[in-house]
Amino acid sequence: DVKVTQSSRYLVKRTGEKVFLECVQDMDHENMFWYRQDPGLGLRLIYFSYDVKMKEKGDIPEGYSVSREKKERFSLILESASTNQTSMYLCASSFRGPNNEQFFGPGTRLTVL
């Protein structure tokens, strides 16, 4: 069974704090993704990575950065959290090929006060 795990289910941070969200997958997937999910807006891609140390901006990268030092781990970093970054964050992973079903983690509900 594919397993994608995220470091926290719930997180509360203060404005201006640096926030780290971590995602780990155990299926040797090349691709890893970070999305945010907001009501009425669906799933919006923040960043994705197709290999170690490689990253590509998604649709809404502003205010975020990422790190992929190991194949199984993909971190999302909020350099200076703001209230408009309060959201559900979902990590996903997939193989690189055409049959690229994305497997999602359970999500992290981040609240920035």
The number of C-alpha atoms within 13 Å of 25 and in the hemisphere containing its C-beta is: 26
Q: Is the dihedral of CA 66, 59, 23, 51 positive or negative?
A: negative
At position 31, the amino acid (one-letter code) is: N
> For other proteins, which residue of 3, 14, 70, 96 counts as binding (CB under 8 A)?
96
The answer to whether 56 and 48 have CB atoms below 8 angstroms apart is: yes
> For other proteins, which residue of 28, 40, 62, 69 counts as binding (CB under 8 A)?
40
> For other proteins, which residue of 12, 27, 41, 54 counts as binding (CB under 8 A)?
41
With binding defined as CB under 8 A, does residue 63 bind other proteins? no
Nearer to other proteins, 46 or 81 (CB): 46
The number of C-alpha atoms within 13 Å of 103 and in the hemisphere containing its C-beta is: 20
Binding site for other proteins (CB under 8 A): 4, 31, 33, 40-45, 48, 50, 56, 58-59, 90, 94, 96, 98, 100-102, 104-107
